[in-house]
Structure 1
């Protein structure tokens, strides 16, 4: 069994691992930039640079779209109201969904060490689930396109439950689906959303150091450990 002694916490045997998707297993920033800029073009709005998008990723597509719309309008010299953002969002969401599904995975890459790490976790007898704030209709095709879907017993998206990370509900529901106790189920992610959800659910948590985390260093987030590659979880 995997335990957390290598991360400096009390040795706790684990039965399962829940793994985030964007910024943890797959670098999807290119997909986001392409789909969002196609959407902005449909709305006759100027494009947004990838470095701005990176800080907005992680809280679900709805939050991402609203953040992008607000950013673009502010940089046009406007001060959009919530009502104006929602009016634009009504047109933005179907456009974004269409474009994202069309290019899903085309501009994304699997991070080094991910497949080797997943293979090692499975070989160690651990049950695996993917839990992301990305809509399930986006997450499943991406995992399939990148050859990662077969590693997971369960895949849950941001629309699978009533709440998204950083709320603990998705982790608790995923543990329930895996039939594992939260204290024996490791959360692996790249951001404070993953860490906060894990802490509230009673799951241990390890963060990768190469992800998004809203543009801030992962090491600034309270977690049980930090790794530069999924391969190092069992090192």
Structure 2
């Protein structure tokens, strides 16, 4: 399987990497901020397992989905502005405090950089949350580009962010690999014409990663770097 993935990844010159669930386990931050928000509007706390089902499609979607667990649709919009404001306040105050970098992220990024690959981070997390988190975890310096969910006119699963990186790097989509943890990442990459591999340890809206249309599953970013560097055997 690894040789098949390595073969599919020949000619890659740049890598677009997702943030939440791919490089950093931010579920504990979401858990704290969401439940502080819920306390502010007199709602009971919810478990982390519930919250991660809705991670990956942007802050507004996360807050709406959590409110919708017990709020009728005709009442949700009335409380949404306050809930969003309180969530943003709490998340900003604890951003990165409860998170952890996944294993082999740093070594994987080092290996990619040593190969001369250009690196971009594309996330649906608001840019005012994404950049401080990358800086706090000492990952920001790896990336030439960082686009958040509010940096561009459209966010993943729309292909726009992937195509913007291709334009910025002056590369064709087939020369760019995306690495993510969810169908959101895969749909964006596929629609853009980029290659896509998935890590198995993230969120994927609570669904098995094996259901994602991708070029393969890699255990870590370091394994992905190894596959990108692997020579393809000549045909017999």
TM superposition score category, shorter chain reference? over 0.9
Residue 168 of structure 1 corresponds to which residue in structure 2?
159
Q: For residue 43 of structure 1, report the CA deviation from its aligned partner.
A: 0.7
Q: Pairwise mapping of residues 113-132 of structure 1 onto structure 2 (< 5 A)?
A: 113-132=104-123
- Do the aligned partners of 1:8 and 1:225 also contact (CA within 8 Å) in 2? no
Count of aligned positions: 225
Residue 101 of structure 2 corresponds to which residue in structure 1?
110
Residue 142 of structure 1 corresponds to which residue in structure 2?
133
Summarize the Cα distance change of 1:15–1:5 in structure 2 as closer, same or farther, 3 Å threshold: farther
Q: For residue 85 of structure 1, report the CA deviation from its aligned partner.
A: 1.2
- Do the aligned partners of 2:37 and 2:83 also contact (CA within 8 Å) in 1? yes
Residue 47 of structure 1 corresponds to which residue in structure 2?
45
Q: Distance in 2 between matches of 1:191 and 1:126?
A: 23
Q: Distance in 1 between matches of 2:224 and 2:8?
A: 16
- What is the aligned counterpart of 2:65 among 67, 71, 84? 67
User: TM-score of the superposition, structure 1-length normalised?
Assistant: 0.92
Q: For residue 10 of structure 1, report the CA deviation from its aligned partner.
A: 3.9
Q: For residue 148 of structure 1, report the CA deviation from its aligned partner.
A: 0.3
Aligned-partner SS, 1:227: coil
- Do the aligned partners of 1:14 and 1:185 also contact (CA within 8 Å) in 2? yes
Q: Distance in 1 between matches of 2:162 and 2:75?
A: 34
Q: For residue 55 of structure 1, report the CA deviation from its aligned partner.
A: 0.9
- Do the aligned partners of 2:8 and 2:215 also contact (CA within 8 Å) in 1? no
